[in-house]
Amino acid sequence: MKRILLFACAAVLGMASCTKDLESRVDALENSVQSIQQQITELTEKLNKDVADLKKVVDALKENVYVTGVSEIKEDGKVVGYTITLSKGQALTIYHGTNGKDGSNGLDGTNGKDAVAPTVGVIVVDGVYYWAVNGAALTDASGNMIPVYAETDAPEFKYEDGKWWISTDGTWSPLVSAGTGDSVFSAVNYDDASVTFVLANGTEITLPRQAAFSLNIASAQVAVLPGATVNVAYTITGATENTTVYAVADAGYSVKVEAASASEGNLAIKTPNPLTDGKVVVFAGNNTNAGMATISFTEGVVNITENKYTVAKDGGNIEIPVSTNYSYEVVIPENASWLTYVETKAMRNETIVLNAAANAGTSRNATVTIKSGDKTWCTFEVAQEGSVAANITAEDLIGNWTVSYISTANAELSFDMPITASNDESKGNLILTKWFNWDKRFQDETIYATFDANAMTLSIAADQKIKGSYNDPGRAKDAKGNWLDPIVFTVSGDGKTLSIDSKVQFGTYYLGSFTNFGDHYSLTKQE
């Protein structure tokens, strides 16, 4: 009886154990099915996404779209793919294929799933890209190869009933052959000039690489002069054929865009007089990108600290410190061939370097001008000692001279002035036949002056009169507004130049009123 009971108990326990084992196997099978389904779902989604991205790559190649950015995608510190940004604003996320070969950037294709997907790529025939699946060209119902057109959608794929299906027009058809596991892309290789997409079927598609769109202005703050035109260059990175540039100005400024090409040009900006705190805003853009830049202004300045520099008879370099924010040129008189411009050192706080040749003759000087176009900023005198004493007499100064100066309207003027022998030695040993005024250049005067051979000066007494409605006296003021009495010119060692401080103002004086004609005066004897 006990044996029967023990056997019955053992049978019951065995049945319970078998049932539990069966349940475990069923659960494991269900989990396996779910895992496979999840794997196939993920693989299908990735396949369709990669095929869509492949179409974008081919479309970009045909439409001359370029790559503007490449960024790595990493997992556990390892590069598994790239995000590629195109100039039309699209972004592609490319992961390595399952069995892709190593790329030139250390890429490998070991991140695919175990499930085998169709191998999708393209083939090129006579420059036309056609869809290919599992190594064969994809054809329509009439047997014609299907090209990769921008106007048509990419093929779609799904996995059902243990096989892969494809649709190109909404109708699903089963695939006859299986893939290799390399679904679309196997590698992405890139450098500074291009990005190459390597497909699983071996086809390579290369897109040019270019920096992101940007508008670049030569200077965001420009030094200008009142009532003048300044040119500001611009360039555009990432420009296309349909890139346009336009600009607007305010507060009295005006601007004209002068495009040399789609990627560069000039902005011709006219400034108001007087200057204001206006701005110019520049816009550049095309169908997909845009850029903007703003230009502000500051008044141009060119300053020197001294107005006379002396060099020894042996010659050498002369350094003239300049404080400036504006471009300029150094102008040396044609008759001062002994003085040459060497260079301008540094920028903004600059040093002009002139070179004086050795002087085997008498002392000499030259008036050097710093200009920007029609604008004369300043002048300074360079005097050089002579190797021999001067032997100049009043008679040597008799002849025709050219008077040059800057008018109060900032115009450069010059006219002829004969210097003749005096008819009254008590008043002076020479006569100037003109006064220092453009309007009186045709009016003969008798202005007595005295040449001092020892001091090498020519002096005009303050009591000298010029012809006018009221027989006005000719006068001059220094930089501080003091009257010059007498008016003294320095005579060069060769007797060919008369110079005076550039800031001296010449004019006429009557009834407490001084009419200023200008400054920066110099006289040069004509040959």
Structure tokens at 355: 């070179």
Residue 129: CB partners within 8 Å, gap ≥ 6?
Answer: 58, 61, 62, 122, 123, 147, 148
Quick check: is 353 in a domain?
yes
126: left (phi over 0), alpha (psi -120 to 50) or beta: left
Give the closest residue to 215 by CA, choosing from 267, 278, 264.
264
Quick check: is 229 in a domain?
yes
Residue 236: CB partners within 8 Å, gap ≥ 6?
Answer: 213, 214, 215, 216, 243, 245, 262, 263, 264, 284, 291
Q: Is 82 helix (H, G, I), strand (E, B) or coil?
A: strand
Same domain, 59 and 169: yes
Quick check: is 366 in a domain?
yes
H or E element at residue 259: strand 254-259
Give the closest residue to 206 by CA, choosing from 70, 66, 303, 92.
66
pLDDT for 25: 61
Quick check: is 13 in a domain?
no
- Give the whole-angstrom CA distance, residue 429 versus residue 40: 115
Query: What values do phi and psi take at 47, rounded to 5?
Result: -60, -50
Residue 128: CB partners within 8 Å, gap ≥ 6?
Answer: 147
- Give the whole-angstrom CA distance, residue 38 versus residue 31: 10
Quick check: is 450 in a domain?
yes
Whether 330 and 359 have beta carbons less than 8 Å apart is answered as: no
Which regions of the chain are under pLDDT 50? 1-2, 5-7, 98-114
DSSP 20-80: HHHHHHHHHHHHHHHHHHHHHHHHHHHHHHHHHHHHHHHHHHHTT--EEEEEEEEETTEEE
Same domain, 292 and 309: no
Q: Cα dist. 183→116, 186, 199, 264, 355 in Å?
A: 8, 8, 9, 44, 76
Whether 94 and 85 have beta carbons less than 8 Å apart is answered as: no
Same domain, 355 and 384: yes
Whether 196 and 94 have beta carbons less than 8 Å apart is answered as: no
Q: Is 394 helix (H, G, I), strand (E, B) or coil?
A: helix
pLDDT for 106: 30
Quick check: is 443 in a domain?
yes
Q: What is the CATH number of the domain that holds 250?
A: 2.60.40.10
pLDDT for 336: 85
CA 44 from centre of chain: 49
C-alpha neighbours within 13 Å on the C-beta side of residue 210: 16
Whether 489 and 498 have beta carbons less than 8 Å apart is answered as: yes
Whether 520 and 376 have beta carbons less than 8 Å apart is answered as: yes
Q: Cα dist. 278→23, 258, 272, 395, 426 in Å?
A: 84, 21, 9, 58, 61
- 63-95 as b/e, with b when 16 or more CB fall inside 10 Å? eebbbbbbeeeeeeeebbbbebebbbeeebebb
Claim: this prediction has a pTM higher than 0.75? no
Whether 523 and 403 have beta carbons less than 8 Å apart is answered as: yes
Q: What is the CATH number of the domain that holds 488?
A: 2.40.128
Same domain, 420 and 462: yes
Same domain, 237 and 335: no
Same domain, 199 and 79: yes
Number of domains within the chain: 4
Quick check: is 73 in a domain?
yes
- Give the whole-angstrom CA distance, residue 310 versus residue 211: 55
Same domain, 67 and 161: yes
Same domain, 354 and 307: yes
Give the closest residue to 329 by CA, choosing from 297, 377, 268.
377
pLDDT for 429: 95
Structure tokens at 431: 């006569």
Domain, as residue range, for 255:
214-299
Whether 466 and 473 have beta carbons less than 8 Å apart is answered as: yes
Structure tokens at 95: 């992961």
From 188, 208, 228, the end of a domain falls on: 208
Same domain, 148 and 101: yes
The total of other beta-carbon atoms located within 10 Å of residue 97's CB is 26
Indicate the burial class of 121 (C-beta count within 10 angstroms; 0-12, 13-18, 19 or more).
buried
Structure tokens at 141: 């119902």
Q: Cα dist. 301→30, 326, 346, 357, 519 in Å?
A: 86, 6, 16, 31, 18
The separation between the first and the last C-alpha atoms of the chain, rounded to the nearest angstrom, is 155
Same domain, 246 and 317: no
The total of other beta-carbon atoms located within 10 Å of residue 478's CB is 13
Q: Cα dist. 460→435, 442, 456, 508 in Å?
A: 11, 20, 14, 14
From 177, 193, 208, the end of a domain falls on: 208
Question: Which DSSP state fits 101?
Answer: P
Quick check: is 9 in a domain?
no
pLDDT for 21: 66
CA dihedral of 229, 230, 231, 232, whole degrees rounded to 10: -140
Same domain, 417 and 527: yes
pLDDT for 29: 55
N residues, the chain: 527
pLDDT for 470: 73
- Give the whole-angstrom CA distance, residue 284 versus residue 246: 7
From 175, 208, 241, the end of a domain falls on: 208
Same domain, 341 and 423: no
- Strand ranges (E), 305-363: 308-311, 316-324, 329-331, 339-345, 349-356
